Amino acid sequence: MIHSMTGFGEAQLESTDVSFLVEIRALNNRFLKTAIKLPETLAFAEADVEKLIRAQLNRGSVTYAIHMRSANGRGAYDVNEPALQTYLDSLENIRKTHSDLATLTIDLAPLLALPGVCVPRQYSEEETAQFLTIVKTLTKQALAKLRTMRADEGKRLLQDLQDQCRVIADNIADLKPLTETVVENYYQRLRQRTSAMLAHANLQVDEEMLLKEVALFAERCDVNEELARLQSHLVQFEEVCNSDQQAGRRLDFLTQEMLREANTIASKANDARISQHVVEIKVAIDRLREQVQNIE
């Protein structure tokens, strides 16, 4: 089943003491790249969060954030009073030893930003274990919502992919009868030209030489092998779209191979009608390549 790489999921929990909010955003990326933002109090849960994300997602640039807020009015940080007192004592000594600073007042607000003054609130082992359980539960819920959103977007992507595949298949079907007439048309044109040129000299066309030239042309412009491979890639593309396997990288590879075959056909084409169909095929393949970049 096709899944998009873009999506969003969130989950929250309100309790009497602490509230939690988990948000997960995902964008396109060739590989799985995670950016996990946790408050210091929950830093211990980063490895578990990373493991849960990688178990559910295969590709994409994933940003994970969890917000933790005290619901009972107590802040997430405690003031380290001994550290604060040490800074105050040092400032007081400086003021005493410098007469010009005798009237200086000490503002506590800047002191709170000094290292070691405000420290993360300490929780018991029991509380920490409870927080880890909450983080895991909310992360799973947010990931489930993210994957649902990716699946819904994937359905829309699949519809567009199928539309482009039909365009390619229709043009391949139209190309096949044209390739069968290219050599015959070339033979007739070449015969007419040589006959017209030799008529002035009362000479006859060398049928053997003419056939050799036509045979060389037929070998150069034969695209049946390329059409067969292109059609085979198209069948594989549709099979991957309908399978339960991770599709993104496989589809990316198949579109590259399809474009390679289309370019070869274009280089061999010696007929305006064939060239028109090849242009339509390449346009459809380019659209496939753009959409495949959005698939997990």
Confidence of residue 225 (pLDDT cuts 50, 70, 90): confident
Query: What pLDDT score does 56 carry?
Result: 92
Q: Which one is predicted more confidently, 165 or 213?
A: 165
Q: What's the CA angle centered on 103, arms 101 and 105, to 5 degrees?
A: 95
What amino acid occupies position 167?
V
User: pLDDT digits over 24-33, tens only?
Assistant: 999 998 889 9
What amino acid occupies position 274?
I
Look over the chain and give the mean of its residue pLDDT values, rounded to a whole number. 79
Q: Where are the beta strands (DSSP E) in 59-168?
A: 60-70, 77-79, 118-120
Q: Are residues 40 and 158 in the same domain?
A: no
Query: What pLDDT score does 119 carry?
Result: 61
Q: Are residues 142 and 108 in the same domain?
A: no
Residue 21, pLDDT > 80, answer yes
Q: Are residues 187 and 233 in the same domain?
A: yes
Q: Are residues 157 and 136 in the same domain?
A: no
User: pLDDT digits over 78-115, tens only?
Assistant: 666 676 667 677 777 776 677 666 666 666 667 666 67
In a domain, 119, yes or no: no
Residue 188, pLDDT > 80, answer no
| Residues above pLDDT 70, as percent of the chain | 69
Residue 22, pLDDT > 90, answer yes
Q: Are residues 147 and 11 in the same domain?
A: yes
Confidence of residue 172 (pLDDT cuts 50, 70, 90): confident
Query: What pLDDT score does 130 carry?
Result: 86
Give the residue numbers spanning the domain of 271: 153-292
Confidence of residue 206 (pLDDT cuts 50, 70, 90): low
Query: What pLDDT score does 166 carry?
Result: 92
In a domain, 40, yes or no: yes
Q: Are residues 159 and 144 in the same domain?
A: no
Q: What is the CATH number of the domain that holds 64?
A: 3.30.230
Q: What is the CATH number of the domain that holds 261?
A: 1.20.140
Query: What pLDDT score does 146 carry?
Result: 95
* Contact (CB, 8 A) for 270 and 182: yes
Which tokens go with 259? 């474009």
DSSP string, 222-242: --HHHHHHHHHHHHHHHHHHT
Q: Are residues 246 and 183 in the same domain?
A: yes
In a domain, 118, yes or no: no
* Contact (CB, 8 A) for 159 and 241: no
User: pLDDT digits over 233-285, tens only?
Assistant: 999 998 888 887 778 888 999 999 999 888 888 777 766 777 788 899 999 99
Query: pTM of the predicted model, to two decimals?
Result: 0.67
The total number of structural domains in the chain stands at 3
Residue 216, pLDDT > 60, answer no
Query: What pLDDT score does 294 carry?
Result: 86
User: Phi and psi dihedrals of 51, rounded to 5?
Assistant: -65, -40
Instruction: Give 64's strand partners.
Output: 24, 36
